[in-house]
Amino acid sequence: MTGKEIVLKHLKKSADHHAAMAETEQKISKVHGDAAESHTNAVLAQHHRDLSDHHGARAQHHNDHARHLLQMHQHVSGVADAELFDSQSHAGDELRSAAGLEFLKASRLMAAD
């Protein structure tokens, strides 16, 4: 598996996770909204409305993040491996190590020169 394939798989998996989290947060928000409607105690009803708003905002955050990850996935899928990882990048070195591509590390390439 190439470094690019690993990055693409990670982006897709992360996007799926955030989409699932957004759905869960939206469900929690709805439950709190429904609870607020049925409360006779004004303080508890307001608390549930606040929780509904909070979980609604979290759902929006997860949706936005999932959309961003899918955009990155589309971008990376059109980029060549050489363009994806800068040869002088320490972050690139760490990713190469995680992918088992240590022989492509910038520190080793520079030592060979």
Higher pLDDT, 112 or 32: 32
Judgement on whether residues 41 and 20 belong to the same structural domain of the protein: yes
74 and 43 belong to one structural domain = yes
Q: Domain containing 50: what range?
A: 14-79
Tell me, yes or no, whether 75 and 109 share the same domain.
no
pLDDT digits (tens, 9 = 90+) for 69-110: 998 988 888 876 556 555 555 555 666 666 665 554 444 444
Report the C-alpha gap between 18 and 41 in whole angstroms: 35
- Identify whether residues 75 and 85 lie together within a single domain: no
Q: What is the pTM of this model?
A: 0.67
Residues 96 and 64 in one domain: no
Give me the chain's average pLDDT, please.
Answer: 81
Instruction: Give the pLDDT confidence score for residue 104 in this predicted structure.
Output: 47
Residues 75 and 64 in one domain: yes
- Asked, for residue 4, whether it belongs to a domain, the answer is no
What is the tens place of the pLDDT at every residue in 34-78? 999 999 999 999 999 999 999 999 999 999 999 999 989 888 888
Q: Based on the fold, state whether residues 91 and 42 are members of the same structural domain.
A: no
What is d(CA 66, CA 99) in angstroms, rounded to the nearest whole number?
23
